[in-house]
Amino acid sequence: MSLRLGDKAPNFTAQTSQGEINLYDYLGDGWGVLFSHPADYTPVCTTELGRTAALKDEFAKRNTKVLALSVDSVESHKGWINDINETQNVEVDFPIVADEDRKIAEEWDMIHPNASVSATVRSLFIIGPDKTIKLIITYPASTGRNFQEVLRVLDSLQLTAYHSVSTPADWKDGEDVVVSTAIKSEDIPAKFPKGYTEVKPYLRLTPQPNK
C-alpha cells in the first residue's frame, strides 16, 4: 500500500510503551504526528525521541499528539526510553508502538526494500483532525529529522486549514502569508482587513490573519 497526501490514515490498535492504544482514539479530535524508527537503541533515533520529548509544550500548544513506532518489542522500548531520558535529559512520556510483525509498517508503507528489506525507514506523517494525511517526509537513516521544520509545517497546515491563505518559502509563524488566488483583489479588503501588498496579480501578501 502506498499512502499519499489526503489519504485516510490507516487506523490501528497496538501495544505500546504506554499500554494498548487505538490510533484514532489516541488522537481524538486533534492533530497527530507519527514517526517511525528502524530499531531501538539506534543513535540518531535516540536524539530524535529526546528532541520530541523536549518539545512537549510546543506540540501541546498546537493541539498535537505524537507517537513513535519501531519494530522492536514493548520491553525493548522501555529499556530504550531509560537510555533516552538519561542521555538527552528528558522524560519521554509519549507512546512508542511495538510493531514486531511489521503489520503497521507495511500498511503505512514504512518499509522500502531498496533501503532495507526488513527495517522501517524513518518516515514522519502529520495527521489532521479529519484523520487524513497532511504531510509525509521520509528521511534516510543517516540524517536526523528537523523538528523545528515539523513545528513550522504544523503551523502552516493549521493556519491554511482555517484561512484562505498559503505560506511562502521559508515562512515562519507571524510572517506575511499569500492570499489565495481564488480570492479576487476587490474582495481582499473585506476578508483581510489588515491590508495587503500586490507584488503581482497572482502574488498578494497579507499579514498573518490569526495574529
Question: Of 45, 66, 119, 133, which one is the catalytic site residue?
Answer: 45
C-alpha grid cell for residue 131?
A: 484523520
Q: Annotated catalytic, 45?
A: yes
DSSP assignments along the chain, one per residue: ----TTSBPPP-EEEEBTEEEEHHHHHTTSEEEEEEESSSS-HHHHHHHHHHHHTHHHHHHTTEEEEEEESS-HHHHHHHHHHHHHHHT----S-EEE-TT-HHHHHTT---TTT-SSSPPEEEEEE-TTSBEEEEEEE-TTS---HHHHHHHHHHHHHHHHSSEE--TT--TTS-EEEPTTS-GGGHHHH-TT--EEEETTEEEE--TT-
For residue 166, the cross-strand partners are: 178
| Residue numbers annotated as active site | 45
